[in-house]
A and B are shown apart, each in its own frame.
Chain A
Amino acid sequence: MFDGLFEKLYEMTAIGAFVDNPGYLLMLLISFVLLYLGIVKKYEPLLLIPIGFGVLLANLPGADLGIVAGEKIELGVDENGRMMYMNLFEIAHEYGILNFLYYALIKTGLLPPLIFLGVGAMTDFGPMLRNLKLALFGGAAQFGIFAVLLIAMASGAFTIKEAASLAIIGGADGPTAIFTTIKLAPHLLGPIAIAAYSYMALVPVIIPLVVKLTCSEKELKINMKQQDKLYPPKYTIKNLRAVKIIFPIVLGTVVIILVPSAGPLLGMLLLGNLLKEIGSDTQRLTTAATDYIMNPATIILGLCVGATMTADVFLNLKTIGIVVGGFFAFALSIASGVLLVKLFNLFAKKKINPLCGATGLSAVPMASRVANDISTKYDPQNHVLQYCMSSNVSGVIGSAVAAGVLIKFLM
């Protein structure tokens, strides 16, 4: 009666799987570290906690909660040469509910634009409209993306699609990085999302480091308000609310005609912003975008992204390459913005604080707050927050456009 009891109990549990593949244990450890960083250190907790828990669930052997590779849902080619896939019911039945959510909401590219809708509803274009010229420095910061694309290709370790997905980490924009990776290299979604959000959480460390290496004390003491007094703007905005309402409509129309592939992200960002700026008439929609849509989207996105990080997918050399490459993409983006400001200052009468270039990477508004902390450290009266927000917000637009270009040419 009790013959083989312990053997059957052993087979019932997942202990055998841990013995056969110790990688699972390592992944559990990684999930605990992510949860620790999110809960205790408060590094991007809204994302790192669902991602960390997704990693945990995906690496519990036998629970079958990990996201399966795209090839597993392929059914072969039909008579017209088109690939056929399992339907969502079959995916849910065969691979479980997390795969259902992943293939329905993430693989289709739905959630990142929905999150951008909420981001738009929380973004204020006011500082950028008051300091429009500074918006150009948000462009320089996208150089890090393309520089790391070159470096990754030169290393020979990545295909061009993988290199582009890695490089977009330099945009410092989580939804944009995830959207691009879903389109170009979905098998790298987990490590790229982790790297993107980890470095975004480390903005308070990375920006001061790069600024210290590239800027002098004299440059960091440039007082933008004094410069405004010395060289006042040509005109003031008489009706900011009207400008803020017209701006997303016109900008969306023009930019999406120019770069249609940036439409899903940029379109939703600008729609969210328009809803916010209209005010009380669309208050319910703004609340829906920032709360009822964005919050569940964030949970599902984080959980499913974490669940893509199974031991066999995550534990390889490419992950290390992504972690290292992501850091360079970030650092080069900051340095490029700083260097463009320094170049501008060589020729312009009205000097600009190089911190306005450092904030060209997205990470709104954390990058601007960090820049303001740096400037006030050198001169307590020198608040650059509003000026940095200009390049910071334009960096969101810039990285969405860069992603659009990569998707357009590589898909």
Chain B
Amino acid sequence: MGEAVFLMIVGMVTVFTVLLLVVGIGNVIIRFVNRFLPEEVAAKPATSAAPAINPNVYSAICSAVSTVTGGKGTVVDVKKL
């Protein structure tokens, strides 16, 4: 029984310590990122072809093609049909 009480105390203290660390580490990382990496770096287009569309849309298409083709596919041109 004494061992069970010991485990309860050690267990709960450890769980709360770890979750306090989760909170602390999370806060430190958020502050670090807000200070040093505040914005997402837009992915460079895979080709040098200058798209005649909104760069955000072009990035989204590149990302979708990369996801679907497992990184093998590249966007050569985007045309409005």
Residues of B within 8 A of A164 (CB): 7
Within residues 280 to 332 of chain A, which ones have a CB less than 8 A from any CB in chain B?
280-281, 283-284
With both chains docked as a complex, state the minimum distance between the C-beta of A275 and any C-beta of chain B, in angstroms.
Answer: 14
Please state if B19 and A135 are interface contacts (CB–CB under 8 Å): yes
Residues of A within 8 A of B31 (CB): 235
In the complex, B56 has a CB within 8 A of chain A: no
Residues of A within 8 A of B19 (CB): 135-136, 138-139, 394, 397-398
Please state if B18 and A243 are interface contacts (CB–CB under 8 Å): no
A149-B8, A154-B1, A258-B18 are known contacts. Are A239 and B23 too (CB-CB below 8 A)?
A: no
A251-B22, A258-B17 are known contacts. Are A405 and B7 too (CB-CB below 8 A)?
A: yes
In the complex, A250 has a CB within 8 A of chain B: yes
In the complex, A341 has a CB within 8 A of chain B: no
Interface string of A369-411 (1 = CB under 8 A from B): 0000000000000000000000000100110011011100110
In the complex, B52 has a CB within 8 A of chain A: no
The complex places the Cα of A129 from the Cα of B38 at a distance, in Å, of 16
The complex places the Cα of A142 from the Cα of B11 at a distance, in Å, of 9
A247-B26, A283-B67 are known contacts. Are A136 and B16 too (CB-CB below 8 A)?
A: yes
Interface string of A128-160 (1 = CB under 8 A from B): 110011011011001101110110011000001
Residues of B within 8 A of A139 (CB): 12, 15-16, 18-19
Please state if B10 and A409 are interface contacts (CB–CB under 8 Å): yes
A-B pairs with beta carbons under 8 A, tally: 133
Residues of B within 8 A of A284 (CB): 70-71
Residues of A within 8 A of B23 (CB): 132-133, 135-136
Please state if B12 and A237 are interface contacts (CB–CB under 8 Å): no
Residues of A within 8 A of B70 (CB): 283-284
With both chains docked as a complex, state the minimum distance between the C-beta of B39 and any C-beta of chain A, in angstroms.
Answer: 6
Q: Which of B3, B5, B15, B39 contacts A402 (CB 8 A)?
A: B15
Q: Which A residues fall within an 8 A CB radius of B?
A: 128-129, 132-133, 135-136, 138-139, 142-143, 145-147, 149-150, 153-154, 160, 163-164, 235, 237-239, 241-243, 246-247, 250-251, 254-255, 258-259, 279-281, 283-284, 394, 397-398, 401-402, 404-406, 409-410
Q: List 14 A-B contacts (CB under 8 A).
A: A128-B26, A135-B22, A142-B12, A149-B4, A237-B33, A239-B33, A243-B30, A251-B21, A279-B67, A283-B71, A284-B71, A401-B14, A405-B7, A409-B10
Q: Which B residues fall within an 8 A CB radius of A?
A: 1, 3-8, 10-12, 14-23, 25-27, 29-34, 37-40, 63, 66-67, 70-71
